[in-house]
Structure formats: C-alpha cells, structure tokens
Chain A
Amino acid sequence: MSRCVEETSTTISNLRALQQKLDQQLNEDINEKMYWKRKCELLEQEVKDLKSKKTEPVRSKIATMSSEVVDSNPYSRLMALQRMGIVDNYQDIRNYTVAVVGVGGVGSVTSEMLTRCGVGKLILFDYDKVELANMNRLFFTPEQSGLSKVEAARDTLTNINPDVEIHVHNYNITHVDHFDHFMNTIGTGGLQGNSVDIVLSCVDNFEARMAINQACNELGQVWIESGVSENAVSGHIQLIHPGRTACFSCAPPLIVASKIDEKTLKREGVCAASLPTTMGVVAGLLVQNTLKYLLKFGEVTEYLGYNALNDFFPQFNLKPNPTCDSNACLKQQKIWAEKAPVQKEEEVVEEKVLHEEDWGISVVDEEGGTTSEDLSVTEGLRLAYTMDKANNDNLQENLVSVDEGTSLEDLMKQMNQL
C-alpha cells in the first residue's frame, strides 16, 4: 500500500514538472509569436509609408505649359526659350514621344533631361537591375539597388514631372522572343498610335546597337546612337536617318581617337571603366541634338565625337554605304533616292569603300598589318577596324557539307550523344 502511495506521488510530481516545462515552453512560443507579429506590423507600416511617399507626386498634372514667370511654374524657364526667339513653339514638345533604349549611365540621365524638358511620352527599355556598382554614375540612388532599372527610373521620373507619360519594358531587345514586341512598340508607341518620333540608343554593347539598327532600318525610323568608350575618356553621338545617312552597319564602328597609344592601354585586368562626367556630357549632347531635331531649331548634328583628354569635338557626315550588309538599309537607300533625286550634300567627305566582300575565299584576321592611317576617316576619328581582306593569311577553305538526308533532330541527337 505505502509503495503504491509513493509511486503515485512520484508520478504526480513528475507530471507537475512536465506541466511546468510545457507552460514555460508555451510562454516562449507566445513571446516569439508576439515578437514576429509585432515585427510584421512594423514592416507593413514601413512599406505603407514608403509606398505613400512614392505614389504621391508633389504636384498634380498641368494641362498646358504656361510662360508665366512664377516660382510655382516648372515650365517658365523652358517657355522663355520661345520669348527669346530660340524655339518657335516650345509647347510642341508635349506632342512628341521618345524611346530610350538602355537606362544606364547615359540613358538614365537622358531620360531625366527629357522628363524635365516636359516631353510628351517616354518609352524606356532595359533588362538590367540597379546595382551598387552603378553608383559612380548619375541618377540612381543606393536604396534602389535590386530594383529593375526601368521601374526605378519610372518612379523617380514620375515624381519629377507627372505630366510625362512613361511606359517601361523590362526585357532584352536582342532576344528573338522580345524583338517583335520591341519593333511594334517603336512602330506604334507614339501618342496617337503612330511611330515614336525618335529612338535614342543608350546601350553599352554592339549586339544591342545592331538590333536597334535592324529595327529602325526596317521601320525607316530616325534614331540617334550614343556611346562612351570603354576607357571612359571619349564618347560620341550619331544621327541615323535610314537611307539618308549611314546606318550602324554601313561601316565598322567609328572610334574617337584618344591619342593614347593603344599598346600602352592596359586592358588585361578589366573590361570597362566609366566616369559620370563623360556620361553626363554625352547624355547632354544626345538630348541637345534631340531637342534641336524635334523642335526644329539650330543645326542637327549627324556625328559629334568627344575626346575628353584633349577637349576635341570632331564632327563628321556619313553617307550610307551602297554595299551595306543590311538589306533593310539598302531598301531605305532606294526609297530615299527616289524621294530626293538630287541629293544636296554640302560637304561630301571622300567616300571610302569600306565593305568589299567576296564570300568564300578565306578566313581573315588582322595580322595583315593594317596601319592606323588606313582607318582614319577625319581628324580625330577612325574606324574600329577595316573590312579589308588584303594581306590576309590564306587558310585552306573548309566549307561545311550538310548531309541532306539527316534531319535537324537527328543531327542534334548526334551532337548530344558525343
């Protein structure tokens, strides 16, 4: 009997200990739950605050641009251009649509300038995200890291000027899946469903420039190409009017001579340097030329280079190449020739045959030793390379012969099984 009582009391005390332990654990769980609940509430509040900050522009939309000079009028200084006789009708800028391809060091500043000028509609294309590595350039801020460039830009720009209609596209235009949409947007993205008024190329690579070139050649769309060299000390803008001026594939890219001996340039360690100054200058030149083109004042430049080391600005006119690699360019050349049979090109720069192709002889490399003089087009400007096939090392011709009887699927299978 006493043994039974003893056992029962041990069980009771064990159960009590267990109960205590469970209570303690429950308390801890409740505390933790409370902690996370509170944390969630705080974060939600923070998001709400940030959102309200973002979505409420400081001012409401303004229906017509006024030239009244008062502190509250964001357009008074722009409308003064009209009073001074520089521009005939500044307000026309509201009818224009500009597409900016590439919203990086040059494109973001370009978009900001156009937004502050009060352009009617801006269409932005970029597939990149904002990174801390971009902070040596203008426009984006560290808090925007991780956001897509086009969306971050839209937020900032809408806040600066809510009158500008901003559309953004977050994709790579060189992809087969996006190119048609890109072309369609250029062709119908204007304010009245017409084509955009001008495309500005602010991309940082050859492939994207060629994609813009192809789209604009096919559409007959005027565009301005811009670029900053990888050593960050030169840049350029180039107006391309398909058929009338050289397109981007009429000749190898032009290089603004930096007067640095190429051999001393240490390219081994890195691919690209950048400076906010050079990019700001190029964006300024690009938007200036755009304003002149759209609002029809001053002289619209066809090619303007910028050499930062010598403060030299070479200018140049480029005629289209009748043997251009792009069929769409040749088609535009024909259309233009019919439109303007007597071409009034004031300053005809000596035309060089840049592109003599005869397919099927040999593989060529540059060891033939082209001198820099071969590449020079005007003072301070040269071609990136020649398409010259002279002095090449003849390699044995080795053309592929495709087995007609084998299907593509079988060939692919064969390749996968290697």
Chain B
Amino acid sequence: MVDAATKKTLAAIPLLKTKAGPRDKEEWPMRLKEEVTSLIKYIQNNKEADNDWLRIQSNKEGTRWFGKCWYIQDYKKYEFELEFDIPVTYPSTAPEIAIPELDGKTAKMYRGGKICLTEHFKPLWSRNAPKFGVAHALALGLGPWMAVEVPELIKRGVVVHKDDQPSGE
C-alpha cells in the first residue's frame, strides 16, 4: 500500500514520456536519457530530504544496472550491492531488483536474490506503465522492501554490521 510519505516521494520523481524497451533500437536511447535524468533528480531529492540511500549505474547499453543501497540503524550503515536487468518487455513489466548477497537469508526473496515485492507493486506498475521508470521501481519496490526486511535481518543476526563481524579469516 502506498502511504502518504511514499506518495509525496513518488510525486517528486519525474515521470517518463517515451514508451520504449531495449529491443526498440531507435527509441531506447531517448528512454535511457529520460531514465537517467529522472534518477539524477530522485537521488538529488533524497539528498535534500536527508534520505540518501542508493547509488546506481548501468552498462552503456542501459540493459544491466548495478549499484549500492544502504540502510541506517542505530547509527550504523548497512550496505548492500544491488543489480537487475532490464527485461525485453520493459516498460510493460518492471525490472526484477536483486540483492544477491542476501539470497537464502530471507523468505521474502526469489531465487538469485530477487526481492519479493508486495502484491500492490505490480498492479501499480501496470497502471502507470510506461510512465514509471527505474527510479520509481527503486522508490516503490526496493525502498519499502529494505525498510521492512533489513531491520528483521539485523534482529535475527543474519546481517551483521561489518565492524561487528569477528575479525580474521
């Protein structure tokens, strides 16, 4: 469910205009420019709101994305590597965001560390395709997932802050 805060965040992320996927050779570069512009704006918004929580980049074709996301709890920063591919049916279908290092550590994941999104994400994405882009997927998919799962993983001791890990081999 989209709460008021998420809605506000969402409203500040620029919507995209070009309906093109990676197979649309001609229009994909334009879509990619929109994606990157929208992402830059989203990250800047986060910084301004003192809620900076991710960095991301892609290969030059814009088909494979990777980056870092982090979560802060008790003044400690927990950082994770994230990755995803742009599917051939994008933007009709959302990218499947994965945090491979957490694979097998939580039941709220599919194989390969793909995060398990709420039932509300996909309808929301479908209704708003093709205007939603990578920034929206991160804000609506990964953000809420981390907010729920990371504290739980820390509580269960499955995720340990790097300073608290036993030293040595």
Tell me, yes or no, whether A340 is within 8 Å of chain B by CB. Answer: no
Q: For residue A249, which residues in chain B have a CB less than 8 angstroms away from its CB? A: 92
Q: Which residue of A lies closest to B114 (CB)?
A: A205
Tell me, yes or no, whether A334 is within 8 Å of chain B by CB. Answer: no
Q: For residue B93, which residues in chain A have a CB less than 8 angstroms away from its CB? A: 206-207, 210
Rounded to whole Å, the gap between the CB of A234 and the closest CB of chain B is 15
CA distance A207 to B85 in the complex (A): 11
Q: For residue A366, which residues in chain B have a CB less than 8 angstroms away from its CB? A: 120, 123-124, 127
Q: For residue A176, which residues in chain B have a CB less than 8 angstroms away from its CB? A: 22-23, 61, 63, 85-86, 88
Contact flag A365-B2 (CB < 8 Å), given A210-B89, A400-B17, A412-B57: yes
* CB neighbors of B among A201-235 (8 A): 205-207, 210-211, 213-214
Q: For residue A207, which residues in chain B have a CB less than 8 angstroms away from its CB? A: 87, 89, 93-94, 96
Contact flag A210-B29 (CB < 8 Å), given A400-B17, A412-B58, A418-B55: no
CA distance A205 to B98 in the complex (A): 15
Interface string of A379-418 (1 = CB under 8 A from B): 0000011010100010111111111001011011011101
Q: Number of contact residues on A: which range applies?
A: 35 or more
Tell me, yes or no, whether A270 is within 8 Å of chain B by CB. Answer: yes
* CB neighbors of A among B100-148 (8 A): 107-111, 116, 119-120, 122-124, 126-129, 131
CA distance A364 to B7 in the complex (A): 10
Q: For residue B128, which residues in chain A have a CB less than 8 angstroms away from its CB? A: 363-364
- Asked if A385 and B37 sit within 8 Å, CB to CB, the answer is no
Total B residues in contact with A, Cβ cutoff 8 Å: 60
Q: For residue A406, which residues in chain B have a CB less than 8 angstroms away from its CB? A: 33
- Asked if B7 and A395 sit within 8 Å, CB to CB, the answer is yes
- Asked if A398 and B15 sit within 8 Å, CB to CB, the answer is yes
Tell me, yes or no, whether B49 is within 8 Å of chain A by CB. Answer: no
Give the interface centre of A252, A393, A411, A412 by most chain B CB atoms within 10 Å.
A412
Tell me, yes or no, whether A174 is within 8 Å of chain B by CB. Answer: yes
Tell me, yes or no, whether B44 is within 8 Å of chain A by CB. Answer: yes
Interface string of B42-75 (1 = CB under 8 A from A): 0110010000000111101111000000000000
Of A128, A214, A360, the contact of B88 (CB 8 Å cutoff)? A214
- Do most interface residues of chain A lie in helix, strand or loop, or is the interface mixed? loop
Contact flag A418-B40 (CB < 8 Å), given A206-B93, A366-B123, A395-B7: yes
Tell me, yes or no, whether B1 is within 8 Å of chain A by CB. Answer: yes
Q: For residue B39, which residues in chain A have a CB less than 8 angstroms away from its CB? A: 415
- Asked if B37 and A400 sit within 8 Å, CB to CB, the answer is yes
Q: For residue A271, which residues in chain B have a CB less than 8 angstroms away from its CB? A: 107-110, 116
Rounded to whole Å, the gap between the CB of A219 and the closest CB of chain B is 14
Of B16, B63, B124, the contact of A400 (CB 8 Å cutoff)? B16
Tell me, yes or no, whether A49 is within 8 Å of chain B by CB. Answer: no
Q: Which residue of A lies closest to B115 (CB)?
A: A271
- Asked if B2 and A397 sit within 8 Å, CB to CB, the answer is no
Contact flag A397-B15 (CB < 8 Å), given A207-B87, A271-B107, A418-B43: yes
Of A270, A326, A414, the contact of B108 (CB 8 Å cutoff)? A270
Contact flag A415-B14 (CB < 8 Å), given A176-B88, A270-B107: no
Rounded to whole Å, the gap between the CB of B153 and the closest CB of chain A is 13
Tell me, yes or no, whether B159 is within 8 Å of chain A by CB. Answer: no
Q: For residue B56, which residues in chain A have a CB less than 8 angstroms away from its CB? A: 415
Q: For residue B96, which residues in chain A have a CB less than 8 angstroms away from its CB? A: 205, 207
Q: Which residue of A lies closest to B88 (CB)?
A: A179
Contact flag A211-B87 (CB < 8 Å), given A364-B128, A402-B34: yes
Rounded to whole Å, the gap between the CB of B65 and the closest CB of chain A is 11
Of A213, A267, A398, A408, the contact of B13 (CB 8 Å cutoff)? A398
- Asked if B57 and A175 sit within 8 Å, CB to CB, the answer is no
Rounded to whole Å, the gap between the CB of A254 and the closest CB of chain B is 14
Excluding A176-B23, A267-B119, A411-B37, 4 further A-B contacts by CB distance (< 8 Å) are: A176-B86, A206-B93, A249-B92, A252-B123
In the complex, 10 of the A-B residue pairs with CB atoms within 8 angstroms, ordered by the A residue number, are A206-B93, A210-B87, A210-B92, A210-B93, A326-B92, A365-B120, A398-B11, A398-B14, A402-B34, A406-B33
Q: Which residues of B contact A (CB under 8 A)?
A: 1-2, 7, 10-17, 22-23, 29-30, 32-34, 36-41, 43-44, 47, 55-58, 60-63, 85-89, 92-94, 96, 107-111, 116, 119-120, 122-124, 126-129, 131
